Chains A and B, each alone.
Chain A
Amino acid sequence: MTDFSSLTITSAINGLKNKEFTSQELVQFFIEKIKQNKHLNCFITHTFEQAIDMAKIADKRISAKNHRMLEGIPIGMKDLFCTNGIKTTAGSKILENFIPFYESTVSKNLWDSGAIMLGKTNMDEFAMGSANTTSFFGNVINPLKSFSNQKKDLVPGGSSGGSASAVSSGLCLGATGSDTGGSIRQPASFCGLVGLKPTYGRCSRFGMIAFASSLDQAGPIAQTVEDAALMLQCMTSFDEKDSTSSRNEIPNYLDYKNYRLKGKKIGIPKEYLIEGLNNEIKEVWDNCINWFKSEGAEIVDISLPHTESALPTYYIIAPAEASANLARYDGIRYGFRQKEKDLKDLYQKTRGLGFGKEVKRRLMIGTYVLSAGYYDAYYLKALKVRKLISKDFEEAFKICDLILTPTTPNVAFPIGEKQTDPIEMYLNDVLTVPASLAGLPAISVSSGFNKEKLPIGLQVIGKPFDEISILGAGNAIEKLRGF
C-alpha cells in the first residue's frame, strides 16, 4: 500500500485530480492507520463502510471530472455533529446509543462538498473540557511526546481532542471541531496543527449538539492553513434553520493567499502577558512579532483591559446556557434511561448516571448562577462584562488590524495532571476565551516548539467576518516559522 502519510488535504486533492491514486486507496490507507492506532482512542465510532461507499462515488465523480471541492477527502467528524443514521454521542453516556435521523448543516455541507467520513471523533463530554479527559468513551492520547519522556502520554487538549489527535497522527486529512471557549484552538495548539474558530454565526449550529449556544461555533482542524481554508469554505453557509446564522456574504477563503502583512497593524495586548505564561511560549510569541515586522507589519501595543474578567465571565455564561441546553437529556424520549417507577427518580438516576462529573459540575454552576437571588450577581453581571470585553476588542480594532497572542499558557501536559483542581484546568482557556465571548474569528497556528519538542501555537484574532486576514497571518507564520 502506498504511504499517504505526508499528504495534506491540498496535496491529496491534487493527487486525486491527477489520478496518482484513488479516493478508495486513500480511504483504505486511513482505515488501516486508524486500526493501527486504536490506542490513541481518537474515534468513538468508525464509519468505514460508509467511507468506502462514499469513496466509490468520489472516484466516479473525479473520473467524470465532476468533482467537488473536497471530493474524496477522508476526514473525521467530531461526535458533536449529528450525522443521519450514525451514532452521535457528544462523548456522553447519556447519548451512548443515540442515532440521529437528521444531519447537521456543517456535516451536510462537507458531504455535499465530497468529503468522506471515516468516523466520529472522540471529545470531552458535551465539549466540556480542555484535555479530552471527560469523555465517557475514555481519554484521547496526543500522538506527540515529550522528547525526554517518550513513555508518558500527553493530553491532546480539548474538547476537540479526538479530532486534533487524529489529524496529528495522520488518521485522517482533516477534522471538524467545535469551539466554545477554545475547543478548536487549544487542541490544535497542543497537537501542532492549525485550528480555526470562525466568527460566531458563520457556521450553522443546526444539528450541532449545543453546549453554550451563544458561544458554540464549528470550525476546521487541519495540518495547514490552506487545508483549514478549504475546509472552512465547505463548512460555512447561511442557514435559515439557525436564527443566529449570518447572512453576510461568504468570501473565497483561499483569497488569503493574496493577503500581505506589509502595512498591517498587529496589536499585541499587554494583558495577555499573564502570570504563568510559559517562557518558551513567550519566546515564540516574540519571535513571531519579529517575523511579522520583517514582513513589513507594524506592531502596536494595545490594551484589552477586561481580559482578566474573561475567564470567570465565560465560566458563568457557558454553564448557565449549558444548564438549559442539557435539560432535554431526561431519559424520556431518547438516549440513556434509568428506568424507575417514580418520575423524579427516573430523572435523578438517568441524569445522575448519564452525565459525567465535569458536566454535572457545570450544570450545577449554571443552575446556581441563574437561580433567584443569584441571577443579578452572577449571570446578569457576566452579560455586562461580556459587553465590556467585546467593547475592548472594538476599541482595539480601531488601531490595529489583527491581534497576535499565544493560544495557550502552556504546552500539552501529561494525562492525569490538572485533574484535581478544576480551576487549573479552566486556566487552559484563559487566552482563547476572550475572542469567544466577543464572537470574533481566531486561528491557532503551530509556531514553534519548546525544549521538549512539544508544539507551541500562536493565536491570531481578527475583526468580525475577517477570516481571510487571520488565514493570511497564519499563512505568514507557516512560511516564516522555519519548519
Chain B
Amino acid sequence: MEYYIQGEKNKWEVILGLEVHAQISSKSKLFSVASTNWGGEPNSQVELVDCGMPGALPVINEYCVEQAILTGLSINAKINKMSIFDRKNYFYPDLPQGYQISQFEHPIVGSGYINIDCEGKKKKIGITRLHLEQDAGKSLHDQNEENSYIDLNRSGCALMEIVSEPDMRSPLEAAEYVKKLRNILKYVGSCDGNMEKGNLRADVNVSVKLKGEELGTRCEIKNVNSIKFIQQAIEYEAKRQVKILESGDEIFQETRLFDPNVGETRSMRGKEESHDYRYFPDPDLPPLIVTEEKINELKKTLPELPDQRKNRLMIEFNLSSYDAEVIVNDKDVANFFEKTVEGRDSKIVTSWVTGELFSFLKKTEKNIKASGISPLKLGELIDLIIDGTISNRQAKEVFEDYIKSTESAKIFVEKRGLIQVSDEQEIENLINSVLQENPKMLEQYRNGKDKLFGFFVGQVMKVSKGKANPKVLNELLKKILSN
C-alpha cells in the first residue's frame, strides 16, 4: 500500500534515508586496546588516545577492519582496497582529541544494497557507503549543579556508519530497513544490534514532496534509538513539513532531535549553525590497504545470511515464506529452530516455534537466549506429541509450566498423570458410560442432530481428564454411534 501524508490540500510523498551507526562488537576500541565493555565505572576503560593525551597516537584495530569488510560483503557492497581516515574537527567536551577520526572521501565500503520485505512486498534499498569512525564519550549533566562530568569509556569505540540511499517511502519501510540491517549485522556478528544500549542508532533524513516533483529540503533527526521511535519521529516530522509547505512556507535544512516523551521533533541546529568540520586526512594513520586475498579470505568466513537462510529453510523444511521469514528474523531463533527440527517433523516444530514459543517469549518479554529454553526442552515435548503419549492440546495446556520446570518432558508428563489413553478398550468403556448417562442426547443424535457428536467427544474427554487420545476417541465414537 502506498504511503502518503494527507495534508489539507494535497497528498505528500515521504522520502527517507537513514544513517545507521552500529557499534562494532569488538573487545577493544578502534584505535586503542581499551575495553569496550558496557557499564564499567566511568573513565575506567580509557587509553591515552581515548582521552586525547599529548603525544598519544592511534593504532588501527585489525579486527574492526575485518568486521567492516564482512559487513560490507553482507550488504552486497564494494570493498575499497584503499580507504583513508580523516579528522573531523569540532570542539565538544566529550570529544577529547578535538576531532573525531572518521572516513570522509574514501570509506572502506562503497555502494551496496539490501532487500526488505514490507507487507509482503520485496523492496531493494540502496546503501551509499559504510565507513569506520570513533565514537565520542558521554557528557553527564545531572551529577552536579555547577559542573558537567565526562565519561570517556565509550570514547574511541568503533562505529560503522552505514548510509542508505533515500529509497524508503514510509515509516514502515524505514523500520523494516533497520530491522533487516540489524538482523544482517547480528548474523555477521559485527554488531549486537542492541538499540537500548545505543549500540545501534539511526539518524533519519526526512523530506516530503508532491508526486512527480523534485526532492524537497530534508531535515535530519539525530540519534533515534528504537525502531518504534524511528517510525514515530518520521510520522511527526513528515506531518510537520507538510503543514509548513501547505501554509506556503519553506523547509529549512536543519538537524532535529526526537523527544520520545512527547513524540515530537525539535530543532537542534540550523544549517547556518552547522559545523565546518574541516575534514582532512589524519597524518597519524597511513592509508588503510586491504588486499584482494584478505577480502577473499573473509568472504569464505562469511556466515549464511538471513535471505539465504530463509530460502534454505523454505526448501529444506518446506516452510511457508512467512514462517521462514519470522524464524530467520532472529538468528538465535533460527538456530533454535534448526536444532529442534533435527529428526522431528518440521510442520509440528514450526507450528510450535512460531506459535506457543513466540507467544511465550512475547508474554515474558524475553528473547530466545534470555528465556533459557533449549531445543532439547521443546523437542522432548514435541516428541511426546508425535508418539501419541500426550495430545497437542494437553501439551499446549501445560507448556508454560513445563518450560518453567526443570524436569524432562517424560517425567513431567508422568508425574502429572498426563499420559494419553490410547487403549481402545479403555476408551470404548468411557464412551459407553457417557452414552448411558446421556440417553436423551443419544436419542436426539440418532434423530439427526449430528452436532451432538462434539458433545460426546467433550464428555469423554472430561471424564478421561483430557487424557483420551482424540484420534482414537473420534474413530471409536463414530463406530459405536453408527452401530
Residues of A within 8 A of B (CB): 81-82, 88, 90, 95, 98, 100, 102, 104, 205-210, 212-214, 240-244, 320-321, 323-324, 326-328, 330, 332-334, 343, 347, 367, 370-372, 375, 379
Partner of B59, one of A98, A102, A240, A332: A240
A243 and B286 contact, Cβ closer than 8 Å, known pairs A327-B99, A328-B96, A328-B97: yes
- The answer to whether A95 and B54 have CB atoms under 8 Å apart is yes
- The answer to whether A379 and B55 have CB atoms under 8 Å apart is no
Within 8 A of A (CB), among B326-357: none
- The answer to whether B55 and A209 have CB atoms under 8 Å apart is yes
Q: Is B314 engaged at the interface, CB distance under 8 Å to the other chain?
A: no
Which of A208, A321, A332 is most buried by chain B, counting CB atoms within 10 A of its CB? A332
Contacts of A81 in B (CB 8 A): 55
Contacts of A208 in B (CB 8 A): 55
A-B contact pairs, 5 of them (CB 8 A): A81-B55, A240-B59, A243-B59, A243-B60, A370-B280
- The answer to whether A324 and B276 have CB atoms under 8 Å apart is no
Which of B58, B87, B99, B283 is most buried by chain A, counting CB atoms within 10 A of its CB? B283
- The answer to whether A241 and B99 have CB atoms under 8 Å apart is no
Contacts of A90 in B (CB 8 A): 54
* Chain B residues with a Cβ closer than 8 Å to the other chain, count: 29
Contacts of A330 in B (CB 8 A): 91, 93, 98
Partner of B53, one of A100, A205, A326, A343: A100
Contacts of A243 in B (CB 8 A): 57-60, 284-286
Contacts of A343 in B (CB 8 A): 93
Q: How far is the CA of A82 from the CA of B55 in the complex (A)?
A: 7
- The answer to whether B280 and A327 have CB atoms under 8 Å apart is no
Contacts of B97 in A (CB 8 A): 327-328
Q: Is B52 engaged at the interface, CB distance under 8 Å to the other chain?
A: yes
Shortest C-beta distance, A248 to chain B (Å), equals 14
- The answer to whether B54 and A241 have CB atoms under 8 Å apart is no
Shortest C-beta distance, A239 to chain B (Å), equals 9
Q: How far is the CA of A326 from the CA of B276 in the complex (A)?
A: 17
Main secondary structure of the interface of B (DSSP, over half): loop
Shortest C-beta distance, B184 to chain A (Å), equals 30
Contacts of B479 in A (CB 8 A): none
Q: Is B150 engaged at the interface, CB distance under 8 Å to the other chain?
A: yes
Contacts of A370 in B (CB 8 A): 89, 278-280
Q: Is B200 engaged at the interface, CB distance under 8 Å to the other chain?
A: no
Q: How far is the CA of A371 from the CA of B57 in the complex (A)?
A: 24
Q: Return the 3 tightest CB-CB contacts between A and B, nearest first.
A: A327-B98, A214-B283, A213-B283
Counting residue pairs across A and B whose Cβ atoms lie within 8 Å, the total is 96
Within 8 A of A (CB), among B28-65: 48, 51-60
Residues of B within 8 A of A (CB): 48, 51-60, 87, 89, 91, 93, 96-99, 150, 276, 278-280, 282-286
Q: Identify 15 new A-B residue pairs, CB closer than 8 A, beyond the known A206-B56, A244-B285.
A: A102-B55, A207-B55, A213-B283, A213-B284, A243-B57, A243-B58, A321-B280, A324-B278, A324-B280, A328-B52, A328-B96, A333-B52, A370-B279, A370-B280, A372-B278
Q: How far is the CA of A205 from the CA of B150 in the complex (A)?
A: 28
Partner of B89, one of A82, A95, A324: A324
Q: Name the CB-closest residue of B to A204.
A: B57
Contacts of B89 in A (CB 8 A): 323-324, 327, 370
A324 and B87 contact, Cβ closer than 8 Å, known pairs A243-B59, A243-B284, A370-B278: yes
A210 and B286 contact, Cβ closer than 8 Å, known pairs A327-B99, A333-B96, A370-B280: no
- The answer to whether B57 and A82 have CB atoms under 8 Å apart is no
Which of A207, A244, A324, A343 is most buried by chain B, counting CB atoms within 10 A of its CB? A324
- The answer to whether B96 and A244 have CB atoms under 8 Å apart is no
Q: How far is the CA of A328 from the CA of B53 in the complex (A)?
A: 8
Contacts of B60 in A (CB 8 A): 243
Q: Name the CB-closest residue of B to A245.
A: B57
Q: How far is the CA of A205 from the CA of B58 in the complex (A)?
A: 11
Shortest C-beta distance, A300 to chain B (Å), equals 33
Q: How far is the CA of A213 from the CA of B284 in the complex (A)?
A: 6
Q: Name the CB-closest residue of B to A210.
A: B55
Q: How far is the CA of A402 from the CA of B132 in the complex (A)?
A: 42
Q: How far is the CA of A179 from the CA of B57 in the complex (A)?
A: 18
- The answer to whether A242 and B57 have CB atoms under 8 Å apart is yes
Contacts of B59 in A (CB 8 A): 240-243
A212 and B54 contact, Cβ closer than 8 Å, known pairs A241-B59, A328-B98, A343-B93: no
